[in-house]
Amino acid sequence: MKNKLFGLFIVMIPLFSACSSSSRKGVDETQFAGYWYQGKAEINVYDLQQSRYGEVRGGKAVMIFVTEDFSRKKQVKLDKPEDNRADAQKVIKLNMTREFLTGVYPYNTMLSVFTPIYDEVHSPKLTASVTEWCGQAFTQLNFKNGNYHAKQFSYFESEGDTESKLNAMAEEELFNLIRLNPDLVPMGNQKLIPSLIFQRFAHIPLKAEQATTSKKELGSNQAEIEVVYNEIGRKITIRYQQFFPYEILGFTETWTKTNGQQEVTTATRSTMQMMDYWNKNEKVYEPLRKDLGL
């Protein structure tokens, strides 16, 4: 990462935000800009109880939310958005990691989701990776011409290197829609692309599945979004604050296998800080990880 350039870019965003008008209903531009365009990322740390291989493993999950300018054509972060404003699309980006051990060896996953702030379209890009001592797997979805173009790479022979097209919203876009405004999350029966991390863990085909999405108030200004896939036995609930900036407080994933066995994964937030972490890459800043609970 070109940290100084990235930091300069974030600081420059407010200059351009005044020229933007939100086309998404429910996104208050003044409120949104006051929080998200202050030149920092929101770092959320969660206590993770990850179910894997029939046992629950303790670990950490981290969700990093930040806004940036994204290239409409190349579907990558723009290094110099001021040089090509027509190509720049403002997105809220989620980078999510999970770290846990399975016996002697570690698992590390990373998910990235780029969701437009002002354009009512699907997230143009999602990527997901799983690394452990046996090997690596990587998935990328690019939204083009009304479909997601998916590429999958894996060290497993049966999953191999594949390409496909998918016509549905990606489940993991819901995290970013909640951050924009939970009312943007579509309710009811619909086709969704299940979690890319779950798909790799479960070793199921990557395809759109029938799902039912619902919302429930929990009290204490909290609510949750629930997504249920009956055919593949997956359920995820995402708990969040009902007021802006709609912070993600935790999530629960339940997978009911064909033999009736259930695997339950939970993540509960322990820490949140706003931080320009890209400017803090020297050794002197390492104690900040302890403040985050890492």
The H or E element that residue 48 is part of is strand 41-52
The conformation of residue 171, written as its DSSP 8-state character, comes to T
Residue 267, classed as helix, strand or coil, is strand
**How much of the chain is helix, strand and coil, in % rounded to 5?**
20, 50, 30
pLDDT tens-digit profile, the chain (294 residues): 444 444 444 444 443 333 444 568 889 999 999 999 999 999 999 999 999 999 999 999 999 999 999 999 999 999 999 998 999 999 999 999 999 999 999 999 999 999 999 999 999 999 999 999 999 999 999 999 999 999 999 998 888 899 999 999 999 999 999 999 999 999 999 999 999 999 999 999 999 999 999 999 999 999 999 999 999 999 999 999 999 999 999 999 999 999 999 999 999 999 999 999 999 999 999 999 999 999
Q: Hunting for tokens 């320009």 — which residue is that?
A: 276
Q: For residue 222, give both structure tokens.
A: 């909290």
Q: Which of 179, 182, 232 is CA-nearest to residue 205?
A: 232
pTM of the predicted model, to two decimals? 0.91
CA separation for the pair 243, 182 (Å, rounded)? 10
